[in-house]
Structure 1
Amino acid sequence: MSHPPDSSHTDDGFPVIRTIGLVIVALVMIWLALTVRLPGTDALRDRIDDFGFWSWAVFILVYAGVALTPIPVTVMALAGGLLFGVTIGSVLSVIGAMLGSLAGYAIARGLGRETVLQLLGSRRKTLEERLEDAGFEAVFTLRVLPGMPYWPINYAAGALGVPFQVFAISSLVASIPGQVSLVAIGAFLGQPTVAMGVVVALAWVVVIVMTIWAWRAWKGIARFPLPGSADRD
């Protein structure tokens, strides 16, 4: 699909600055992906727990920082369950994931469309096709689709002009089941009771159902009347 030039999508005003920004962001993300490894779940839990009362704030900030990068956030969610239990751990994990997602969106808005699309590499075509003039359903589907990391969706949504409110709400709704399911596993590892096992099972049932729906929607087999999906065929 081709679109006429739009001033909100061009990088003509600051080509040098945005090129430099692309280089810096790309180098940082490559370095993080190749060299930085989060400590194991137990070690991470102990380090955050050392902050005492402020451990919840440290957890959120670390989670948000990790969510900005290609580093998988699974360990963070598991540590959240070990540290804070299912309820509080899920809330803190969702907040951390959302802060990272919104920060990535904001960074992409600043860098500009072409700059960010170059950063996405092989995922550029798929995300450009799915998120161009997209609404709630497109972002939601990408969020729960297996194998699609969070960070490229965040940056692509900002670069391609997905409305902030649509991006924020769809990301929040889509991320809750996945975060709860991972946090529940962490909590179960710390407290392996039958009740906790039931929570884990229920959370993963929801994740599996959402994953199946997302895959069918991706293939054009299923549609779901999500907000913002009306009038788009």
Structure 2
Amino acid sequence: MGRTGLQWGTYLRNTLLVLVLLLMLWLAFNVRLPSVDELRADMESLGWAAWIVFVLLYAIVAMTPIPVTIMAVTGGLLFGIVEGSALSIIGVFIGCWGAYWLARALGRATVVKMLGTHADTVERHLADAGFQAVATLRLMPGLPYWPVNYGSGAFGVSQRDFLVAGLISTVPGQVSLVAVGSFISEPGVVPAAVVLCAWAVVVTMTIWALRAWKGTSSRPLPGDRFRRRS
């Protein structure tokens, strides 16, 4: 039963991937995408509601496996460094917090199934853990935000540790991505300097995360000791 379900899941994902690719090809040949200036004009026409729309959309994306990089760079393209960074940080913060509480509502068993291949890694480092574990996983290269968000809610990380660690470890990366979007839109010294400084902070924090990871990678999963004794 499990194997059949897994095969059907694979078929479904592959089918959806093909459909998405076909849709993108059709859009590329039949739909004229708006320019950055046109998008900015549309945002300005919405007034203050544009901020709410962007933040809500970002929060929704942050609760899914969709990379948040897309939204952060878009924030820089549309709103500039300062405004885009503020909106992106608020949006990703709300989305991560929402995923945390959704995981608590769904329960540990359901979240483990959702995490898939990330389940063992996330559980090993987040089970009954705190600030350092959340910050370490958030900064780990190649590990998306969403497994950390749902894992924190499911595996007993306190809300305070999750929010503080998430905010500290998320801000530099968000600012750097927003600055990249701003630089693409309007190349200049200021956005380039912000990108370099922000990425320097990200690299420094990532090195710390990697060292912390090596120090905790041998940590046993809950129940491992009991299984060894039995």
The alignment's C-alpha RMSD in Å is 2.8
Matches of 1:52 and 1:43 in 2, distance apart? 17
Query: 1:94–1:179: 8 Å Cα contact kept in structure 2?
Result: yes
- Higher helix proportion (structure 1 or 2): 2
Give the structure-2-normalised TM-score: 0.76
Which residue of structure 1 aligns with residue 95 of structure 2? 100
Which residue of structure 1 aligns with residue 223 of structure 2? none
- The C-alpha deviation readout for 1:117-143, integer Å capped at 9, x for no partner, is 121111111111100110100000000
Whether 2:117 is the aligned partner of 1:126: answer no
Alignment of 1:66-77 (within 5 A): 66-77=61-72
Query: 2:36–2:185: 8 Å Cα contact kept in structure 1?
Result: no
Aligned residues: 192
Pick the aligned partner of 1:186 from 181, 185, 192. 181
Q: Where does structure 1 differ by over 4 angstroms across 4 or more consecutive aligned residues? A: 33-45
- Consecutive unaligned residues of structure 2, counting only runs of 5 or more, are 1-8, 28-32, 217-230
Which residue of structure 1 aligns with residue 84 of structure 2? 89
Matches of 1:97 and 1:44 in 2, distance apart? 25
Matches of 1:41 and 1:82 in 2, distance apart? 13
Which residue of structure 2 aligns with residue 143 of structure 1? 138
- Consecutive unaligned residues of structure 1, counting only runs of 5 or more, are 1-25, 222-233
Identity %: 51
Alignment of 1:9-88 (within 5 A): 34=17, 46=39, 49=43, 51-88=46-83
Shift of 1:83: 1.6
- 2:80 is paired with a residue of what secondary structure? helix
Matches of 1:123 and 1:220 in 2, distance apart? 19
